Amino acid sequence: MNQIKFSRLILTIMILSLFNSCKKDTPAPLPEVFTFPSKVIHKIVVDNNSGVKWFATEKGVFSYDGGKWTRYSDDKNLTTGSVSDFAFDITSGIKKLWLGTLVGASSFEFGTTAISIVNYSSTSSGILSDTISALGIDKSNVKYFGTSKGLSIFNGTKWDKFMGRTNEEILSRYKISSVSTTTNGYIYAATKGGGVSRFKYTDAVSGATTYNKPWAWGLPSDTILTVITDGITQWYGTNRGIGYHTTENTKADWITYTRGDGLVCDTVYAIAKDLSGNMWFGTHLGVSKLSGATWTNFTNKNGLIDNKVNTLAVDTDGSIWFGTDKGISHLTNNQWTNY
């Protein structure tokens, strides 16, 4: 072999060696990344038995068990549309959520291996309308659906309807924003513009009355965005601050909180009570915490993912979950995590 051929052979070997040394093994596939069906979170509820967090969005439902996110959609005949509200069935031994959506209601029984879903619509059941804006369940496991045509009541075997106190009928005239129940059997259905309808239900509606201005003088506004109950007391979030009502007397025992008292914003969308007895308020401009007489405010400058907080939930460990228009924030031990 002459010198020229030998040099070419050496050069070829060097090039092949360099090429092979640059080849990489096929990379391992990346772990699957969970994608939220929507960043707009309407409601969060926590299963106090399992600790699983459930999230209702404008494009369906998903859950988080602390390690795994799970999405539930049409592959199991569950709506991927807007879920406005949901709540746990309180029947012993049953893992079931009731959903209020823009296309009717659903009962969603879930487990480790099977999912059972029953859908209710205005054409297949006694529900007044398929447009549902609020949902509540009382201690007798009666369901209350706030629809665009009034309040539908389902006791498991029959459907009833309620429009509000006679000659006022605020539940058919105004959008129902929230439904909550007390330990002594009263149901509170809040509206956007008509105040609050309070009543009891056994096999029919009784004791109906209306909380609105000027009679319920401590209610800041008749535009109620949320109501929660604690025992027999009620907390109302409105577009003009918070109303706290400690008894059942319409014209007495009210306390009002506004920005002048320390609230970060007077438009209050969500209210929750934590395990230490502190009250949390989700508003249009951030979150406020009321501990005794002390107010503490949090915004996106403190770590909150977005200032418009639509929903709040207290976890089994005492941490707080916040649902916004831009995702989820979790506050635990003064540390923020955003999703």
Alpha-helix residue ranges (DSSP H) falling in the chain: 3-22, 170-173
Residue at 56: amino acid letter: A
Q: What's the CA gap between 209 and 164, in Å, rounded?
A: 8
The pLDDT confidence band at residue 79, using thresholds 50, 70 and 90, is low
Place of tokens 């009731």: 98
Nearest to residue 110, comparing CAs of 52, 68, 39, 44? Answer: 52
Give me the pLDDT at residue 21, please. 47
- The tally of CA atoms less than 13 A away on the side-chain side of residue 311 is 26
**Mean pLDDT, rounded, for 248-264:** 95
Cβ 62 vs Cβ 42: under 8 Å: no
- The pTM assigned to this predicted structure is 0.88
Helix, strand or coil for residue 11?
A: helix
Q: Is the pLDDT of residue 282 over 90?
A: yes
**Mean pLDDT, rounded, for 65-70:** 92
Give me the pLDDT at residue 240, please. 98
Q: Could you give the percent of the chain with pLDDT greater than 90?
A: 76
Q: Is the pLDDT of residue 142 over 70?
A: yes
How many CB atoms are located within 10 Å of the residue 163 CB?
Answer: 18
How much is the mean pLDDT over the chain?
A: 89
pLDDT digits (tens, 9 = 90+) for 311-325: 999 999 999 999 999
The three state secondary structure string of 95-107 is: CEEEEEECCEEEE
Give me the pLDDT at residue 23, please. 47
Higher-confidence residue: 33 or 126? 126
Q: What's the CA gap between 173 and 166, in Å, rounded?
A: 12
Higher-confidence residue: 91 or 338? 338
Q: Which residues pair with 339 in a beta bridge?
A: none
Higher-confidence residue: 114 or 258? 258
Helix, strand or coil for residue 315?
A: coil
The three state secondary structure string of 222-251 is: CEEEEEEEECCEEEEEECCEEEEECCCCCC
Give me the pLDDT at residue 230, please. 94
Structural domain contains residue 328:
yes
Q: Which of 98-112, 175-189, 282-296 has the lowest mean pLDDT?
A: 98-112
Q: Is the pLDDT of residue 75 over 80?
A: no
Structural domain contains residue 287:
yes
Q: 148-153 — which CB contacts under 8 Å span 24+ positions?
A: 148/175, 151/176, 151/179, 151/189, 151/197, 152/126, 152/127, 152/128, 153/201, 153/205
pLDDT digits (tens, 9 = 90+) for 13-47: 555 554 454 444 555 444 457 888 899 999 999 99
Structural domain contains residue 13:
no
Q: Which of 86-90, 125-129, 157-161, 257-261 has the lowest mean pLDDT?
A: 86-90
Give me the pLDDT at residue 73, please. 64
Q: What CATH number has the domain bearing residue 304?
A: 2.40.10.500
Structural domain contains residue 273:
yes
Q: Which of 213-217, 293-297, 323-327 has the lowest mean pLDDT?
A: 213-217
Structural domain contains residue 334:
yes
Give me the pLDDT at residue 17, please. 54
Give me the pLDDT at residue 76, please. 57
Helix, strand or coil for residue 184?
A: coil
Cβ 266 vs Cβ 273: under 8 Å: no
Q: Which two tokens stand for residue 81?
A: 């549309």
Which structural domain, as residue segments, surrounds residue 309?
Answer: 258-339
The pLDDT confidence band at residue 74, using thresholds 50, 70 and 90, is low
Q: Is the pLDDT of residue 287 over 70?
A: yes
Give me the pLDDT at residue 19, please. 46
Write the DSSP assignment of 41-79 as a string of letters. EEEEEE-TTT--EEEEETTEEEEE-SS-EEEE-GGGT--
* 313-to-103, 109, 192, 194, 222 alpha-carbon distances in Å: 25, 21, 22, 27, 25
Cis before residue 31, ω within 30 degrees of 0? no
The phi and psi torsions of 168 (rounded to 5 degrees) equal -115, -50
Give me the pLDDT at residue 3, please. 52
If one counts the domains in the chain, the total is 1
Give me the pLDDT at residue 114, please. 65
